[in-house]
Chain A
Amino acid sequence: MKYFLSISILLISFSGVKLHAQINDTIIEKVREEYSFERLIKNSITLNPASYNAARKHSITTFNVFTEKSNTPSQLQQKGRGKNLWGAEVYSLQKLDDKTAVWGNASYTQGKNKQVVWNENSDYDLIYPYVAADSVGGDMKFENYSFSGGYSKKINTYTLGITGSYQATLSYRDIDPRPKNTAAHFSLAMGADKLVFGKFRVGAYANAEKYTQKHYLSFVCNQGYPMIYNMSGLGNYNELLSGKLRQAYYEGWSYGGGLQIFEADSRNWYLNMGIKKFNLDKLLTEYADLNASKINEQQFTFSAGKFFNSGKTVWGISAEGNSTERKGIENLFLNENSRNYIQIGSVEKYNHKINSIIFKGLIQMGNEKTKSSLIPFFGWIQEKEKYSSPASRIELSKLMYGADYQWLKTFNHQQILSVVAGLSATNVYQKNALFNNSVKPAINSMLQENYAFQSSDFWQAKLDVHFHFSFPVVKNAFVGGKIMYSNFKTGSNTLLAVSIGSIF
């Protein structure tokens, strides 16, 4: 928390330097650029820090304080039944001159994740399936800090860029079972792009990340405690390691990179391909850092788009695809004596494949006063999760379709209203599951409930309204509200968020 204030002040003062040179109209243009659907679709190019600066025409600083409340009765039990949080965020991109840019971001969030069961760790999406789990669970409080910064510079036809970020998370519970998880995430990315034939740019980037999570579990009440399972996927667990485990340490590295080619001026066509490898080890600190399990994940991504601009209308199509495969390797042990476990082998038992592709169309019409944008989309997702023995698996194939519509209206006196309405439906047209029958009844009912959610068709509606108005001192302030409703066979999820802030 102590760094957050100083970094926010640093970012705001950056933009403060430029404030006197701004005209009021520029603020309206910045707001429009911030909400532009066209910019948001083309944003995948900015994975390369060298290509980050030219994604926007204007420098911008935004600051907002937000609160969010959600109820998710339809969700994986490991992710909880909803969130209550509040936070603050500051973001700034400053074009120092036509060759150089700096940008930075700082945010703080605090809240609680409601009714998280079968997961006593944080960052479930990173460390699954190797979590410490029990049938009791409860609300998990959390605090997140994150800082990031970047710099890019144009040298002749080349642009070079670099970004770094740091994120720290603390999650804990005040009643038994009492987990305390401290996670840290560092990442660094470097890239370059070059103008070719005066028409398009070719870019390449590489990134590396380090992730760690320290996990402690304690019990104050000595009336007894539930069995703590060392989960290894789809309800299976290591019997030798389960029981009284109280500590674990996760350490992971990820490396990646990508290539891109895109039209230089307005990015009206682009192709971006990336690859990322992630390795994570789970170490048991109570047993002299015994390596319990390992994750190897490989991810391919691509995004491509083609847009046409006739002056009044912008239209186009984009595609984004992702293929991820996560392999889990468990180590096998011999309990030589109660305190000394020896590794006698290792076996790869867990495999999770997710393939997805989504096509988005864009139609944008209007003028300075009123702009309408429509993004219809259509996507296909296939997911296969397997555990080799005892044989367990979940296979799902989904089709997703819908549309988002935005109405951006500029009134007199720098008042801008953005209304985004969206509707989508997901249809699980193929589903198949097999679970190990000899697991404990509590684990079996968790697996069945999770599968009922994952295999459920659902539709989703959202409404997002932001209203900007001029305000003394900060020049431009806004209030925003968002409401989202998702209807599953297993129950409805709702989300409500409110934010106030400023763009300058």
Chain B
Amino acid sequence: MLKHVLKTLFILCTVMAITACSSDSNEALEAKTSLKLELKVIPENIQVKEYKNLTISFKELNSGFTITQELKNTNVLQVVLPSGTYNITAEGSIVYGDNSGSVEAKVAGVQNGMVINGSETSKTLELALKSGNSSDLILEEIFFTGTKTPQGAMYFGDQYFKITNNTDKTLYADGMLLIQSSFMTNEKQDYSPNIMATTLSAGAIIRIPGNGTMYPVKAGESIIIAEDAINHKNFNPSSINLSNANFQIFKEDSDDIDNPAVPKMVNVFDKMVIHTQGYYAYALARMPQGMTHETLVAQNTYTYTYNLTINGDVYPMDGTAVKIPNEWITDAVNLSVQDSFQWQVTSPSLDMGWTSVTTFDGDKNRFGKAVRRKVTGKTMEGKNILKDTNNSTTDFEHGVKPSLFN
């Protein structure tokens, strides 16, 4: 009898023990890091008088966690964040100058892939002066995907760039450089030397011909640089007629189409092959007075190196590009594909963001879509005012019907 009672008690005790365990709520502590972020304006010779306001946005790449912090009258941020790898963007305005006067200017900075871990850490984020609204020609639209024929085949010849005068004065397109970056936005490597803060590394450059006054572009007007300036509707009914384009891209030693009525872009460096998924940055630049493109290539060509890691094996690689100083660049746009984007290939002072037409690599629905700058209003004459804050993420519409398609 006693044994029986003892056994029953034993069983009851075990039952209680198990139910008691369940009321514990032992939460695992999340790894958090105390971050001290100092925002510094570069180049260092700029004397900052006041950091008026700064907005800093964080995005953690593993979890997608985002947070925004505001700073007033200081450039040091103290914040506690969950540990991880962060993309940080900062925008704001400062007052700088010297004894002679003060200037208020907008600044912006971008840092991708910043590791924030440990119990506390200090980091620096560089801010560059944002060039104000461009006073030169800008890229209004890039149509790079090509189209699909009614039979479903891919068709490329109808790619084009639309370059617009977003100012109120007549500008001349003569001599304008159209540049394709050397690095790709879906392939992040540690390229050495790392000159991206001050220089755009060009992989292909073409130049608008002319002696300086041959190709005027009135305020609000645009010019089209076409891959092939022909009536593509003859070959692909789903395409457009580009035979009235202002310029055409003609590659001499390839089997390229030539429309004798359309001026050819001058090939300055390498061949411009417009990638149908984007993956490059495109920029417009003006060489300094007196420089020829031959001199540019002769003086500014450089070799970069990087290590390619595949499955743990390291292969040293190299490549050639042309240095284009950021000061020459009037506009730059980073293009990519949402799921494949790794990094911007220009300095954040040229372009803080990036644009795309599609979500994933190989999307067959990308054909016939372009990126187009947003319109913020109209001038007195009824011409469009285009958005240009040097941030392609917010300045462009991602994946819309190209303007030449109706």
Contacts and interface: CB of A to CB of B under 8 A. Distances in A.
A332 B21 contact: no
A335 B4 CA distance: 64
A332 B83 contact: yes
Interface in B167-214: 186-190
Contacts of A238: 62-63
A55 B397 CA distance: 73
A330 B62 contact: yes
Contacts of A224: 360, 362-365
Contacts of B85: 240, 332-335, 344
Interface string A223-258: 111010000000010111101100000000000000
Given A223-B364, A335-B342, A336-B188, 6 more contacts: A225-B360, A243-B339, A327-B28, A332-B117, A339-B310, A348-B28
Interface string A45-83: 000000000000000000000000000000000000000
B275 interface: no
B18 A389 contact: no
Interface in A13-64: none
A389 B362 CA distance: 33
A323 B190 CA distance: 50
Contacts of A327: 28
Contacts of B189: 337-338
B368 interface: no
B254 interface: no
13 contacts: A244-B361, A271-B7, A306-B4, A306-B7, A333-B85, A335-B188, A337-B187, A337-B189, A346-B31, A349-B30, A357-B15, A388-B28, A389-B30
Interface in A187-222: 222
A94 to B, nearest CB: 34
B150 to A, nearest CB: 17
Contacts of A382: 22
Interface in A333-363: 333-340, 344-349, 351, 353, 355, 357
B393 to A, nearest CB: 17
Interface string B372-389: 000000000000000000
A243 B360 contact: yes
Contacts of B84: 332, 344-345
Interface string B332-349: 000000011010000000
User: Which 6 residue pairs spanning A and B have beta carbons closest together?
Assistant: A348-B28, A355-B22, A288-B312, A345-B117, A340-B309, A334-B85
Contacts of A269: 7
A61 to B, nearest CB: 36
Contacts of A340: 309
A357 B63 contact: no
Interface of B: 4, 7-8, 10-11, 14-15, 18-19, 21-22, 27-28, 30-31, 61-65, 82-85, 113, 115, 117, 186-190, 308-312, 339-340, 342, 359-365
Interface in A300-340: 300, 302, 304, 306, 319, 321, 323, 327, 330, 332-340
A375 interface: no
Contact of A351 (B4, B22, B28, B310): B28
B6 to A, nearest CB: 11
A273 interface: yes
A243 B340 contact: yes
A381 to B, nearest CB: 11
Contact of B61 (A335, A346, A349): A335
Contacts of B309: 337, 339-340
B339 A300 contact: no
A390 interface: yes
Nearest to B190: A337
A444 to B, nearest CB: 14
B34 to A, nearest CB: 15
Given A323-B22, A337-B187, A349 B340 contact: no
A321 B364 contact: no
Contacts of B7: 269, 271, 306
A124 to B, nearest CB: 23
A338 B186 CA distance: 7
A380 to B, nearest CB: 8
B115 A388 contact: no
A266 B381 CA distance: 102
A222 B362 CA distance: 7
Contacts of A321: 14-15, 18
A344 B115 contact: yes
Contacts of B14: 271, 273, 302, 304, 321
Contact of A335 (B22, B30, B113): B113
Contact of B62 (A240, A323, A388): A240
A429 to B, nearest CB: 15
A220 to B, nearest CB: 13
Contacts of B342: 335, 337-338
A336 B190 contact: yes
Contacts of A351: 28
Contact of B83 (A288, A345, A353): A345
Nearest to B28: A348
Nearest to B4: A306
A389 B361 contact: no
Contacts of A227: 339, 359-360
Given A335-B113, A337-B188, A337-B309, A349 B18 contact: no
Contacts of A240: 61-62, 85
B63 A236 contact: yes
Interface string A164-201: 00000000000000000000000000000000000000
